[in-house]
Amino acid sequence: MHEPHDMPGEGRPDDDLILSVRDLAVHFPLGGGLLGGGKRLLRAVDGVDLSLKRGECLGLVGESGSGKSTVALSILGLLAPTRGRITVDGQVVTSRQSGDRKALARTVQIVFQDPYASLNPRQTVRRTLEDPLRVHGVTAKSEIADRVAAMLRHVGLRPEQADRYPHEFSGGQRQRIGIARALILNPKIVICDEPVSALDVSIRAQIINLLLELKDTLGLSYIMISHDLGVVEHMSDRVAVMYLGRIVENGDWREIFERPAHPYTRALIAAIPDPLHHAPLATTGGDLPNPLNPPNGCAFSPRCRFTVDVCRSEPGPVLETRADGHAVRCWRSEEIAGRLAAAADWDVNS
């Protein structure tokens, strides 16, 4: 499944890094309410480090509310970080003037989750694809027409379909239009935010295969945001697992899926449905903790069956990177890995 892009980036120099996120934090102060009580702080993202090499796909996974989309919005320049540094293609973009937003849009684009809500029903496909080109200075009618036609062919649609409206297309076709819109400016990075979760099961594999084909054909780099690890396993070269605003595990896709080191990652893998088939996420039971009142110690400790006193009392461990590049944030990761490997015990929910 991963043979064409297995173990990406080995031996490549650091200048092959197209995206670097360092100590990213996004905090939202909230009012104290009618009865006062002072402001509270919602730590949606709290100290995230990520990197993306040219031509690779990074899977960013975790439950709803874990902070995945907040990270994406920060990379896109749509949300100002509280702290941290984001570098895109060698340029620091964390502190930018409004004029730089257009330059960033030519480098980083997004494919949204819902193809029904993300397209303007009053605009034809042609207008949807032409507008970004005009905004970014492409004015020659012949060039605009050629680029629109070429992009429609790239995503498996016919140029003569450009004068139709979104309601005249199926869900899968609408998502192809959304992909075409994301690619029309020739970006280098595409963030795919749950790109198949709103589609019928029969269509998901087609869209995933299209994204992989475009990645190779156009030399794209992807961030694949999902809570469906079946999709992530099929597409990603590396995987980062988020929990309550932090990365708890990060590594090569094979390491993550064959030798997961964090109990939360093990729970996600235990819940994987058949490949490419979306299903509600099941984990260790209970809900994601309230980010306004996070647990003491490790944030996952209330839901983890391996919790001991140190997990509840000590501040969350740092993300430790091993020699093989596999990083994990867990007090007992080595002990748990050895125990489960010996017992072949993958039932995290028991």
Evaluate the CA torsion angle 76, 62, 66, 5 in order and state its sign: negative
pLDDT tens digits for 16-30?
999 999 999 999 988
Nearest to 114 by CA among 182, 58, 193, 183: 193
pLDDT tier, 343 (very low <50, low <70, confident <90, very high otherwise): low
Is residue 195 within 8 Å of 24, Cβ to Cβ? no
Q: Identity (one letter) of the amino acid at 244? A: L
pLDDT tier, 1 (very low <50, low <70, confident <90, very high otherwise): very low
- Whether pLDDT at 97 is above 60: no
How far apart, in whole angstroms, are the C-alpha atoms of residue 321 and residue 250?
A: 9
Query: What pLDDT, on a 0 to 100 scale, did the predictor assign at position 34?
Result: 54
Domain boundaries, the chain: 16-29+41-258, 260-350
Query: What pLDDT, on a 0 to 100 scale, did the predictor assign at position 5?
Result: 42
Average pLDDT estimate for 182-202: 93
Query: What pLDDT, on a 0 to 100 scale, did the predictor assign at position 37?
Result: 56
Strand partners, 243: 246
How far apart, in whole angstroms, are the C-alpha atoms of residue 176 and residue 219?
A: 18
Query: What pLDDT, on a 0 to 100 scale, did the predictor assign at position 282?
Result: 43
Query: For residue 308, what are the contacts with CB-CB under 8 A and spacing of at least 6?
Result: 331, 332
CATH assignment of 16-29+41-258? 3.40.50.300
Distances (CA, A) of 80 to 71, 73, 89, 97: 10, 9, 19, 12
Is residue 241 within 8 Å of 252, Cβ to Cβ? no
Q: Is 34 exposed, middle or buried (0-12, 13-18, 19+ CB in 10 A)?
A: exposed
pLDDT tier, 335 (very low <50, low <70, confident <90, very high otherwise): confident
Both structure tokens of 326: 């596999």
Strand partners, 192: 111, 224
Burial annotation 37-65 (CB, 10 A radius, 16+ → b, else e) = eeeeeebbbbbbbbbbbbbbbbbbbbbeb
Q: What rounded mean pLDDT belongs to the chain?
A: 85
pLDDT tens digits for 109-140?
999 999 889 999 999 999 999 999 999 999 99
